[in-house]
Amino acid sequence: MSRPRILVPGKINPRVLERLPEMFETVRIERADAALVTADMADIAGIAVSGRLPIALMEAFPKLEIVANFGVGYDGVDVGRAAARGIVVTNTPEVLNEEVADTAIGLLINTVRQLPQAEEWLRQGRWARDGNFPLSPLSLRGRKIGLYGLGRIGLAIARRLEAFGLSIAYHTRTRREDIAFPYYPSLVSLAGAVDTLIVIVPATPSTAKAINAEVLSALGPNGVLINVGRGSTIDEAALVAALQTGTIAGAGLDVFENEPHVPEALLALPNVSLLPHVASASVVTRGAMADLVVDNLKAWFSNGRALTPIAETPFERKVQ
């Protein structure tokens, strides 16, 4: 009996490619482009993808059963169309929660204490030449934290913040009855009650540019914005203006609206800490994510159920 054929469009973590042959025949194309599909790929049954999966590429495979997405966010996949066709979509939750939470805290500390700038001061010889690095104008001490998003990663961040002795509040679409943190029904009301806003929500129509000029103004001149979610959540033009005018004090960003391109205006600001989307980027965590991609595929074709299907596609495999 022939092995199921799995398409890998473009780049993906090498461990995925190493493990796929355990059960599958791997078919690769240079990028996620339907123009690269050939007639001999008509029997493709699964796709393992990192990044965007254009709907035209998904539609090119009449026998497609599963899309295994490398990452927690799956906004690059047309979930509505997949659900309509009965295609299960999986992601990689849980395995990266702690790594992303660690990065969020590191980014927060870097932003308020200016540690990257202090290291650069030392490396440039300025400590010996010019004296001590200037005192950081901000501190983590006494800060009031607002979390925009309180899913698995948000809760992991909250646990760390509690250990720092900081107060925590949150905003989500609906109040969580299992959480004792103060809840605010809108982003503006949350921003007005805190001085540090940490963003950890997925890219959806409702979160697009949700962090706008009004929210930043409410956060105030002592305010710090941290984003480890998706770049589309922030109105970058409004953020640049807020940082330039002192509407808020600083920002730490791991994600951007048009990655890998970062606005020159952000790069030029002294009161920001910028990372190249590395929140989950350790060998250990990315390896665990890769394993879950492959294990989802193996479970689907072996047992008829994926390990971590997204809520929109809770399907079981039909007998082929």
Question: Over the stretch 60-106, which tens digit does the pLDDT of each residue have?
Answer: 999 999 999 999 999 999 999 999 999 999 999 999 999 999 999 99
Provide the pLDDT for residue 159: 98
Does 113 lie in the same domain as 91?
A: no
Output the average pLDDT for the chain: 97
288 plus 213 within the same structural domain: no
pLDDT of 239 higher than 60:
yes
- Residue located via tokens 């965007």: 52
Average pLDDT, stretch 257-284? 97
Shared domain check, 173 and 70? no
| Mean pLDDT computed over 1-17 | 95
In the predicted model, is pLDDT for residue 284 greater than 60? yes
Average confidence (pLDDT) over 152-163: 98
Question: Cα(142)–Cα(246) distance, rounded to whole angstroms?
Answer: 20
Percent of the chain with pLDDT over 70: 99
Q: Contacts from 163-171 at CB under 8 Å and sequence distance 24+? A: 164/140, 166/140, 166/142, 169/144, 169/145, 169/193, 169/194, 170/146, 171/146, 171/147
pLDDT at 180: 96
Q: Are both 121 and 224 inside the same structural domain?
A: yes
Q: For position 74, what pLDDT does the model report?
A: 95
Average pLDDT over residues 161-170: 98
Angstrom distance (rounded) from CA 110 to CA 195: 16
Which ranges of the chain does DSSP label H, i.e. alpha helix? 14-19, 55-59, 79-85, 97-113, 115-123, 126-130, 152-163, 187-193, 213-219, 236-245, 264-267, 283-303
pLDDT of residue 320: 55
Is the same domain home to 101 and 232? Answer: yes
Looking at residue 133, its amino acid is: F
Residues 27 and 126 in one domain: no
Q: Tell me the whole-structure pTM to 2 decimals.
A: 0.94
173 counts as catalytic: no
Residue 133 is assigned to a structural domain of this protein: yes
Instruction: Catalytic residue, from 119, 120, 259, 316: name it.
Output: 259
Angle at the Cα of 100 from the Cα atoms of 95 and 103, rounded to 5 degrees: 145
Question: With pLDDT > 90 as the criterion, what percentage of the chain qualifies?
Answer: 98
Active-site residue, 259 included: yes
The pLDDT, as a whole number, for residue 319 is: 67
Q: Quick one: average pLDDT of 244-264?
A: 97
* Tokens 């679409």 -> residue: 173
User: Which residue in 28, 21, 23, 22 sits closest to 44, CA to CA?
Assistant: 28
Does any domain span residue 29?
Answer: yes
pLDDT-derived band of residue 318, with 50, 70 and 90 as boundaries? confident
Active-site position among 230, 236, 257, 286 = 230
Contact 274, 268 (CB under 8 A): no
Q: Is 230 a known active-site residue?
A: yes
Task: Give helix then strand counts, H and E, for the chain.
Answer: 12, 11
**Residue 34 covered by a domain:** yes
Number of domains in the chain: 2
Task: Indicate whether 2 pLDDT > 90.
Answer: no
Q: Is the pLDDT of residue 13 over 80?
A: yes
Q: By residue range, what is the domain housing residue 9? A: 5-95+283-303
In a domain, 262, yes or no: yes
CATH number at residue 234: 3.40.50.720
| Selected catalytic residue, list 3, 28, 176, 277 | 277
Residue 120 scores a pLDDT above 80: yes
Q: Is the domain of 119 the same as that of 130?
A: yes
Q: Does the structure show a pLDDT above 70 at 191?
A: yes
Statement to judge: residues 26 and 86 lie in one domain: yes
Cα-flanking dihedrals φ and ψ of residue 115, to 5°? -65, -40
Q: State residue 114's pLDDT score.
A: 97
